[in-house]
Structure formats: structure tokens, C-alpha cells
Structure 1
Amino acid sequence: MLYVISWYATRLVNRGGGGALNYLLAGRHFPTIIVATMLTGLAIGGASTVGVAEGAYTQGISAGWYNAAWGAGGIIVGILVADAFRRMEVRTIPEMMERMYGPSSRLISIVAQILIMMVITSLQYVAGGAILTALLPSIFTFQQGVLLTALVFVGITLIGGYWAAGLSNLINVIIIYLGVVVAIFISVSNFGGFEAITSRLPADGPWFHPISGVGLSIIMAWMVVMITQTFSIQAISQIAFAARNGRTARRGFIIGGIITIPAGFLCALFGIIAAAQFPGLENAAMALPILVTHITPAVGGLLLASLWAADISTAVGLLLGCSTMVTEDFLKRLMPEKITPRGELLISRLAVLLVSAATLWLALTSVGILKTITTALAMTSSFTLLILANIFAPALCKKNCGFWTILASVVIWVAWTLFPSTHIVPHVIYLEWPICLGVFSACALLSKEPAERLLKEVPEIGS
């Protein structure tokens, strides 16, 4: 079905002469429903399904706050800046930084954003391979699962571009919720009903406490990280850039955030059911896979499809986001100024192939390294600060704020990754925000050249 959609999407890409705008940003024609499902599909990935079930196996329903944090970020972005993002008429976050804070800000933005995007894109290959290996171990090795996952989402992206990503995510979100909800009902029924399951849970566990399992400090860290990254990571902002207009972007983000929130708590129920029926698992990551083997093959297949759809839906958005930056901020700058639409399309597809090859290599050779640098999302603190300040407090923004604030965020993340002695707080995000605020404030006080303001009027919140 996804490949049929991708083939259809090529007709939309070629409409109006084609070109990079149609391929990478759907010609800025995404309607509200596609904006919403694109955001939801990006949010609900392997970590939001199998990962949440793994956490809930010991921490209970509070593991679902991971998705709730994602949803909260989407809603807040929708209320505050989605409309502004669409009205800026930019294609990438580094382009936005250059127009606000100058060429040096764009250069360091490219480095930081591509690092973040390549890490999380690579992890989607890993997640897809892990899902197929865990649920179908007699059929797939991990490497085979990674390669098959790559074949699907790289093919979808390469063929149909952003239209294919948007339309396929509409299908993926439906499959995700259908598979998860049906599997929960069947699982509860198979194991004697909800009361019987709760009676078999280990005593004194935080199974249905909304906070105590994961803990307030971790939930708050999730909230800060997810809300921060939804403001300024390319793959998310690009959804707003591709919306039909500002109103569509705003509504789509709010609806997408609302749709995202329940998924984590639903998947947490799988972990709780597994804790009741299969206590003592050495590897909590098997909580969801072991449930699949105890429900009917038809429902198990539907659940497998929904879990893989969750990974694919995240991966296509990330791959297009990363490829858009490579195209717009790197490859097109090496080309002559006047490029035909056909030439732009060729360059865009070349970028998809380059990013796909690099991220697949990372996934197959550097799994351990990737898992240690997932904190890279915290670097988006600097971008979020710079964007919000430019929109809502432009008088404070000076030209050199961009370069130095982003550089500070990169240095903090590198120090956190390489030197454990810097772990003086529960999460690197608690260092990123205060230090970035300090650097930004120092630049605002000591510098004289004002930054360029992209919007001449502050958007009305919630209008």
C-alpha cells in the first residue's frame, strides 16, 4: 500500500513543473489532516511503542508520559509559532538562522542540525530491525531487519518525496492505532479480563500511579526535551513549512499533538499486561514481543504491522528533513544559481540517496555509539531560544547571538557525551537551557548590531 501511495505521489511532485519545492516540501500544499498525521507519525516511533512497553514492564503506566511530552510539544508549537513558521517562507532551520543572525549562524546550524538528524534517522533503522528480529526471530536477523526497513522507507522517500511521506503517514497512523487498540482488547480477553490481570501484578508496584514509576524528574526532562525539540528540529519544523497556510499549520500541529498523547499510555498497557502474565523477564524489551506470541496470528500480524508502521512513519519524516538540509544548505550552493526544476529534483533525490547511505552505514556499524549520543536532541535548546526570541522579543536579538548560542549548545553536548564528570544534573537539557540563556543574554548586552527580524508583527497566540 505504501509503495502504491508513493507512486501516486510522483504525480503530485511533478505537478506544476516539479522541482525541489514540490519534492521536499510538497509544494507547500499540505492540508490540515496531513500536517496532523505527519506530526503524529513522526512522534510515534519505535521508542514510543516497544520502548514504552519495555519501560512500563517495571515502571507502570507512567512510562506513557514519553508520548505525552511529544504531544504537548506539538500543541504548544501549534499555539505559539506554527503559523509564524509558515509565514516565514523558508525551507530549512539553517536558512532561518542565516536570515535572522547571519551566514556564520547558518554554517554552525548545518553542522548541529545534520548531526542531530543523522543520529535519530539512523536509530530508526535500528528500531525497525529490532522490531522485526524480536517479533519474527526465525525469519529475520538484526541486519536483515535493518536492511528491509531501509528498503521500505528509503524507497517511499526516494520515489514520492514529501507527498509520499505525508500520504503514507495518514495510513500509518490509522494502522498504528488500529493495531494497538485491537491487540489490547484481545490480550485482556485472552488473559481473563482486566481485573484478573491486575490481581496477578507483583505487589507494591507503581503500576497505575501516574508519576511515581518513572519519577517526576525524568518526566519533566522528557517534557523539556520534547517541547524544546518540537520548536526547532528540521523534521518537525518542515511540516509547518509545507502547510497550505499559517492557519493550516497551527491547526494541524494542535490536532497532531492531541492524537499523539494517548499512544504512549496505550502501549504502556502492553508492558503492564506482560508484567502480570510473564514476571521475571531478564530482558524487559521482550515485554511486547512475548505478548504477540500469545494472541491470535491475525491480531499478532496486525500488531506487528502497526509497530513497524510506527517506525516507518517516523523514519520517512526524518529522512526527508535531513535530505532537505543537505539539498538546500549544501548541494544547491555548489551548483550554478539557475537550476531547472528537473535539475532540482535530481539533486533532491541525490541528497536522499547520500543521507540514506550514510545513516544506514551508521545503523549497521555504530549501534552502541548511536545509543550514547541520543542526548543530541538537547542541542535544539539553542535553536528554540533563538527562534522564540526573534519572534517575541526581537529587541533582545543581536547578530552574533546566533553563532555563539548554537556553539555553546554544541560544546555542552560534546562535554556531556565525553566527560561523565559533567553529569551533575539528571539530563543534559538542564545544562543546555541555563547556559544557552546566559550566552544569549551576554551577546544581547555586549553586541550592538541587531539581528534581522523575519516577522514584522508578533503572531496572536491561539488565534
Structure 2
Amino acid sequence: MIIMAIVVTYIALTTFVGTLSAKYTTDTSSFMSAKNMMGPFVVGILLMSEFVATGSTLGTAESAYSHGLAASWNVISLGIAFVLYGFLLAPKFQKTGEYTISGALAQAYGQRTRTVVSLIMVYALVVVNVAAFTGGGVIFAAILGISVQAGVSIIGVASIVNVTLGGIRGVGVSNLIHMFFKFVSLFVLAGFAYATLRHDPLALARIPDSLYSLHGIAPNTLLSWTVSNIGAIFATQYVIQCISSLGSAAQARRASFIAATFFIPAGLLAAFIGIAARGIFPGIPAVQALPAFFAVMPPWLAGVGVMGIVAVTFVTILACQVGTTALIMSDFVIPLTQPREERKLAATRAVSIAVGLLPIPFALFVPGLLHTIFFARALRSSIAVVAVFMFYLPACRNDRTASAGLICSVVATSIWFALGDPWFDDIYIAILVPASFLLGGKLLGRRSARTV
């Protein structure tokens, strides 16, 4: 009952705090981009909020229970990706003045590519949200003693209210609170695990030495994680929206570096919790590596830990929901319907409600949380390839080949994922297909010019 009361109060308060930003959300522009309302440190926290999610906590602890410390690379490689993003793309995206990834790419490629990019990004973000709804629903069902369907519905209502009323500023404020409790939860769980092992030599002896090694996961898996994380960060809608809220390219770079510093402790703490669970709870399903601690912790301490898990669920959902809303409005609703200025905000809020409801029917059919999350990152990696070509290989920019490459990439990646990635990870298809189209289009263009 104590844990239930803490969780219910936490969800209610954070949702309410997010809605307080409604007074700042007076038009579509303020809904999509909180220009000059947040500094580099705050934006840096928000940049990482979508990625320090279910896969970075429950998924990492689960993997570490079986494979050891190497599982932390799932999260640490995100920090490397943000460092690269700060050097290569953050300042350039900030200078475009756009708050959508599709709008930024349209400046170089054209409207055909803009439409394709927007559709792929919406697809990817909805996939991420479906996985987040599923994980959150299962957690809420276990904590509150309700059905998974009811847990999913609670998440849907809370996220819709937050995003619809607060816009990106409301999401930003809520996610700052969520990220604080996320790290508090990890430190509490890791501290409890350490204290338990220290006073239980038998539990410590049950942990194989191999779990402390960095070689517990195959190198090709570590590489695919790294490539997927770089691709996802290089082309994620919520990241662009946060970057667009800053006033200069230097601030964009600084925010990216701030985001990078938080991934190392998050990854190591989650992995340690999983390794400790191997000794304290031998024989349990690996997926219970982190939640198993709640059954043996003092109720108030367990309540704090559970708040972190709830926070993890909402940071991803809120970020994806506001990003999807921005894409649908800017690339489809406004161009097709051309609503009057005074009606744009109402239309934006209607779209955000629809986006919040969309994942609910699909949330019980996700095959595997971590696998699904990396599939969504692979989809975004194809867009990242097009973005890199736009800024660093401008001679290869072509609207037709870019859009064709993206379409073929998303179809091939989805089919490969559905087949279970039989020979190699789908991330390599997502990257190689659009790159081949852009390079091939340039080479064919040169050959045609020489023939003429």
C-alpha cells in the first residue's frame, strides 16, 4: 500500500506540474519549441531523457544478470554518440532554424524527402512508444495489482494530459523531474545491492568472475549497439526540438556534451544492479533482475526505487509523443488543411491526443522490449545517413535518390527485423541502403554527364 500510494501520488504530481506550462503554450510555435526558455544544462538533461529509458535500466540489468558488465555498453555508447553529435551535427542543425528533422533535411533535399523522412520518423517513434507503453503497463500491473490493460490506460491518460496542455515546455519540466528520480532510484537500488552483498558473503560468492569482464557480449553485438545509438541520436525528432530551443550553435554543442556525461553512471549502475541480483536472487528470470529488489527492500525505500522505474517509462513516452505531434502538424496537417492561425493550436492539441491514443491497441503485442527499441533506432539511423550526407557530402544530395533510398531502407529493415535478423543486425541495412542510393545516384549522374 505504501508503494502504491507513492506511485499514484508521483504520477499525479508530475502530470500536474507538466500542465502548469499551459500558460506558456499560447500558439503552435510555443507548443513545438521553447525558444530561449531553457539553457544548455537543462536542454542537455532533456536531450538524454528519451534514451535513458526502459532499455537503459530494466534491459541493461536483465542483460547484466546473464552477461555481466559488458551490458553497460548499451548505455555508455549513447554518451559516445552524443559527443560525436556535439562535434558534427548539433551546431549545424541549430543553425537551420528548424524544429523538425524533416524540415531541416528539406532545405537541402526538397519536399519529397521531407515527406518520406517525416513518415519514417513517425513510424519509428510510434514503435518506441508501443514498447514503452508495454513495459510501463507490465510494471504498473505488478506494482498496483491491476491488469496490464489498465496500466497501459493510466500511462496513456497521464501522457496525453501532460503533452496536450504543456507542449514541449511542459514535457521538458516533467522530464527534468523524471530524470532526477530516475538517477535517485538507480543510486538507491545500487546502494542497497552493495550493502546486501557486503553482509552476505554467500551471495557475493555466487557471482561468477566472468560477469565482471567486458567480454560477456559478442563484439558484433556491441558494435551494432554503438552504430544504432549513433544513428538514433543523429536523427531523432525530440533531439532536434531541444536543440532548436537554444540560442546559438555553441550552446547546442555544450548541451550535447552535458548529455553525454550522464550515460556512463547510468549504464554502470544498471549493470551493477543486474550483476548483484545474480548473487542475491539466483535462479530468477533475468528480466526480474531489477524488480526483484523491491520485494526485499523496506517499503519507503522500495517506493523511491519504483518512482524511478515509473519515471523511466514516462521520459520516453513524453519525448516521443511531442516529437510525433510536431512532425504530423508541420508536415501534413498544416500544409494540407492550412488552418487559420487561431485554430492551429487546437489542431495541434487534437493531434497530440490522437498520437497518445495510437500506441494503446498495439502495446500488448511487442515481441521484445530491447530488440524493438533497437529496431526503432535502426529506422532513425537511415535518416541520420541522409543528414550526414547533407552536411558533409553535399555533392551527393539529391531529392529523388534520397527519398528512394529511405523508402527501400525502411522496407528492407522492417522485413529483416520481422525475420529475426537471421545473419546480421538490421542496423547495417538501415545504414547501407540509403548511403548506396546517394552514392550510386552521384556516380550514375557523372557517368551520364560524361556520355553526353
- Name the TM-score, length of structure 1 as normaliser: 0.88
- Whether 1:268 and 2:276 are equivalent positions in the alignment is no
String of CA shifts for 1:104-160, please: whole Å, max 9, x gaps: 2122222211111111112111121122234x2x62221122122222222211120
Pairs within 5 Å for 1:316-395: 316-336=318-338, 339-340=340-341, 342-364=342-364, 366-368=365-367, 374=373, 375-395=375-395
Deviation (angstroms), 1:396: 2.8
Q: Is the 8 A contact 1:34 1:167 kept in 2?
A: no
Number of the residue aligned with 1:302:
304
Tell me, in whole angstroms, the C-alpha distance in 2 between the residues paired with 1:84 and 1:192: 50
Q: Is the 8 A contact 1:32 1:243 kept in 2?
A: yes
Structure-2 change in CA distance of 1:139 and 1:102 (3 Å)? same
- Name the TM-score, length of structure 2 as normaliser: 0.90
- Whether 1:209 and 2:213 are equivalent positions in the alignment is yes
Deviation (angstroms), 1:11: 2.2
Tell me, in whole angstroms, the C-alpha distance in 1 between the residues paired with 2:398 and 2:254: 32
Number of the residue aligned with 1:446:
444
String of CA shifts for 1:15-66, please: whole Å, max 9, x gaps: xxx2111011123533112211112221111111111111111111111111
Pairs within 5 Å for 1:235-314: 235-281=238-284, 283-314=285-316
String of CA shifts for 1:203-247, please: whole Å, max 9, x gaps: 4x521112x112221111100000011111212222212223322
Tell me, in whole angstroms, the C-alpha distance in 1 between the residues paired with 2:40 and 2:370: 34
What secondary structure sits across from 1:149 in the alignment? helix
Tell me, in whole angstroms, the C-alpha distance in 2 between the residues paired with 1:40 and 1:234: 13
Q: Is the 8 A contact 1:400 1:447 kept in 2?
A: no
Q: Count matched residues.
A: 433
Return 245-254 or 52-61, whichever deviates more. Answer: 245-254
Number of the residue aligned with 2:426:
428
Which residue among 125, 147, 150 is the counterpart of 1:144?
150
Return 328-337 or 117-126, whichever deviates more. Answer: 328-337
RMSD: 2.2
Percentage of matched positions with identical amino acids: 22
Paired amino acid for 2:298: T
What secondary structure sits across from 1:367 in the alignment? coil
What secondary structure sits across from 2:398 in the alignment? coil
Q: Is the 8 A contact 2:232 2:377 kept in 1?
A: yes
Which residue among 45, 52, 64 is the counterpart of 1:56?
64
- Whether 1:26 and 2:34 are equivalent positions in the alignment is yes
Q: Is the 8 A contact 1:75 1:255 kept in 2?
A: no
Structure-2 change in CA distance of 1:84 and 1:193 (3 Å)? farther
Number of the residue aligned with 1:98:
106
- Whether 1:228 and 2:227 are equivalent positions in the alignment is no
Tell me, in whole angstroms, the C-alpha distance in 2 between the residues paired with 1:344 and 1:194: 61
What secondary structure sits across from 2:233 in the alignment? helix
Deviation (angstroms), 1:96: 2.4
What secondary structure sits across from 1:30 in the alignment? coil
What secondary structure sits across from 2:228 in the alignment? helix
Structure 2 residue runs of 5 or longer lacking an equivalent are 1-12, 447-452
Q: Is the 8 A contact 2:112 2:399 kept in 1?
A: no
Tell me, in whole angstroms, the C-alpha distance in 2 between the residues paired with 1:249 and 1:74: 11
Number of the residue aligned with 2:449:
none
- Whether 1:7 and 2:10 are equivalent positions in the alignment is no
Tell me, in whole angstroms, the C-alpha distance in 2 between the residues paired with 1:169 and 1:229: 19
Tell me, in whole angstroms, the C-alpha distance in 2 between the residues paired with 1:226 and 1:344: 34
Tell me, in whole angstroms, the C-alpha distance in 2 between the residues paired with 1:430 and 1:39: 25
Structure 1 residue runs of 5 or longer lacking an equivalent are 449-463
Q: Is the 8 A contact 2:109 2:402 kept in 1?
A: yes
Number of the residue aligned with 1:455:
none
Paired amino acid for 1:190: T
Tell me, in whole angstroms, the C-alpha distance in 1 between the residues paired with 2:278 and 2:291: 13
Number of the residue aligned with 2:3:
none
Tell me, in whole angstroms, the C-alpha distance in 1 between the residues paired with 2:312 and 2:369: 20
Number of the residue aligned with 1:399:
399
Paired amino acid for 1:231: F
Structure-2 change in CA distance of 1:419 and 1:67 (3 Å)? closer
